[in-house]
Structure 1
Amino acid sequence: MLVIGCLFIHGFTGAPDEIEPLADHLKRRADWEIRTVTLPGHGETETLKGIRYQSWVAAAEEELKLLVKSCDTVYLVGFSMGGVIAGHLTTKYPVTKLVLLSTAVYYINPKQMLKDLKKMAADFLKGELKHNTLFKHYRKKMQETPFRATVEFQKLVRELKPSFQHIHIPTLIVQGERDGVVPVKSANYLYNTIPASEKTLVFLPHSSHHICQGEDQDELLKTVESFLAEKPAEVEHVTS
């Protein structure tokens, strides 16, 4: 019996719960070995101070090595910074398929960020800012992320970005059109740079950065499941 494994890698300052809806969906739908990795300094006890980007890559690599040993077929799913790490590891290990979600080869979308700030300002004037999910997210990031950790994130992207020129396995790229952190041009760059003959680019019109928890969640789950299970995806592929 063919044993299939799938490793999920979360984003910078995040945790496995960022991609949990997708991981849980695949657990319910397929008899696969599903693993998620918590990168050093991340998770519930976030302590990013003093951690270098190589530690994040090494942690994901160790989990992938274990999966490669125990499974005949291995899939990689990376979100945001985790997508950059996943792309890099794909060029080093026998990965069968790659899924890139909101992958941060570019970051900060000024146009969408301005829209988010306007919404926050409107909520502030109405006395509802404390209920604004994006505000709570941005405030937490600014308060808890050491400047040095942000520099390490930038180093990681700069060092691993060339890996995408060497990916030849089937790849699915999914991007939210309302993402204020990772701009649409990041997904377009990936699609144009990855030389794989089988690659698909999907834009979700109502999703912000945390794409697994956005308004297009059902479309995302269906698209990724179809791609990994080699079933035709029943979604419209839109390029922006």
Structure 2
Amino acid sequence: MIGCLFIHGFTGAPYEIEPLARYIRDSTDWVVRTPTLPGHGETLYLKGTHYSEWIEYAEKVLIDLLQSCDKVFIIGFSMGGLIAGYLATRYPIQKLVLLSAAAYYINPKQLVADIKIMLRDGLNKTLHKNELYLRYKKKIVDTPLSATIEFRKLVRKIRPELHHIKVPTLIVQGECDGIVPLKSANYLYQVISSTEKKLLLLPCAKHHVCYGEDQDKLFKEVDTFLHESTKEYIY
């Protein structure tokens, strides 16, 4: 039996990766898990949470999968990509997929472009239809500074560990991502030690790569990658 663990991003929830998770559920008989990290979800309760709680919860779900499945894959989005990479250095998973993984964050050039579009939509009185604005306005209000500090601590803790990743890895990055810059994906490709790694750039995708024009390409590439045969790794 194959298990597949999805880990969502900071201030996010399983909806961020649900389109891809649903695709895998519908096309395989795999055990798919999409846990919600502590303090996260449709409603945020992040005050007082520590980054170690996010890692430990994902780790607990992974251990459960490893106990019941012959093979386990991890797919992590944004901050969840870093957690996924960290777990891949400590547990015998078979493959790793990193979606918009936040080894670095904030892409100034794209962020300015997105803000200009929001300003234009505001002047045209159509801001209520702007998907990016709707997605982030509530997060900004509901995210305490302490949680943002914890996120930064997590990045600082995990980034030095990423070179220990030896499992086959697919790195996916949207070229129009205003949150995680392209240099994050390039960095991951350079530092990950696996001899089987691939960088997939999606020209039309923003941060939420599971949504948008490149969705079909993403699904097909991930599906192909996860079904490819690979050698066994010793931990």
TM-score by length of 1: 0.94
Alpha-carbon distance, 1:37 to partner? 1.1
The question of 1:220 aligning with 2:218 is answered yes
- In structure 2, the residue matched to 1:5 is 3
Instruction: Measure the CA separation in 2 of the matches of 1:158 and 1:214.
Output: 30
Within-5 A mapping of 1:203-214: 203-214=201-212
Given candidates 84, 106, 109, the residue that maps to 1:108 is 106
- In structure 1, the residue matched to 2:29 is 31
Q: Deviations over 1:109-128 (max 9, x none)?
A: 00000000110111111111
- In structure 2, the residue matched to 1:234 is none
Instruction: Measure the CA separation in 1 of the matches of 2:103 and 2:61.
Output: 23
Alpha-carbon distance, 1:31 to partner? 1.2
The one-letter amino acid of 2:15's match is D
Instruction: Measure the CA separation in 2 of the matches of 1:142 and 1:168.
Output: 36
- In structure 1, the residue matched to 2:232 is none
- In structure 1, the residue matched to 2:132 is 134
Q: Deviations over 1:76-131 (max 9, x none)?
A: 00000000000000011000000000000100000000000110111111111111
Alpha-carbon distance, 1:138 to partner? 2.5
Contact 2:7-2:34 within 8 A present in 1 as well: yes
SS at 1:6 equivalent: strand
SS at 1:78 equivalent: strand
- In structure 2, the residue matched to 1:77 is 75
SS at 1:212 equivalent: coil
SS at 2:198 equivalent: strand
The one-letter amino acid of 1:7's match is L
Given candidates 144, 152, 165, the residue that maps to 2:163 is 165
- RMSD of aligned C-alpha atoms? 0.8
Q: Deviations over 1:155-210 (max 9, x none)?
A: 00000111211011100000000000000000000000001000000000000001
Unaligned runs of 5+ in 1: 232-240
- In structure 2, the residue matched to 1:120 is 118
- In structure 2, the residue matched to 1:190 is 188
- In structure 2, the residue matched to 1:230 is 228
The one-letter amino acid of 1:98's match is L
Instruction: Measure the CA separation in 1 of the matches of 2:199 and 2:70.
Output: 27
Instruction: Measure the CA separation in 1 of the matches of 2:175 and 2:84.
Output: 22
Given candidates 175, 199, 204, the residue that maps to 2:173 is 175
Instruction: Measure the CA separation in 1 of the matches of 2:8 and 2:212.
Output: 16
SS at 1:211 equivalent: coil
Stretch moving more, 136-145 or 54-63: 136-145
- In structure 1, the residue matched to 2:148 is 150
- In structure 2, the residue matched to 1:238 is none
> How many residues end up aligned between the 2 structures?
229
**Identical-residue share of aligned pairs (%):** 59
Given candidates 40, 51, 54, the residue that maps to 1:53 is 51
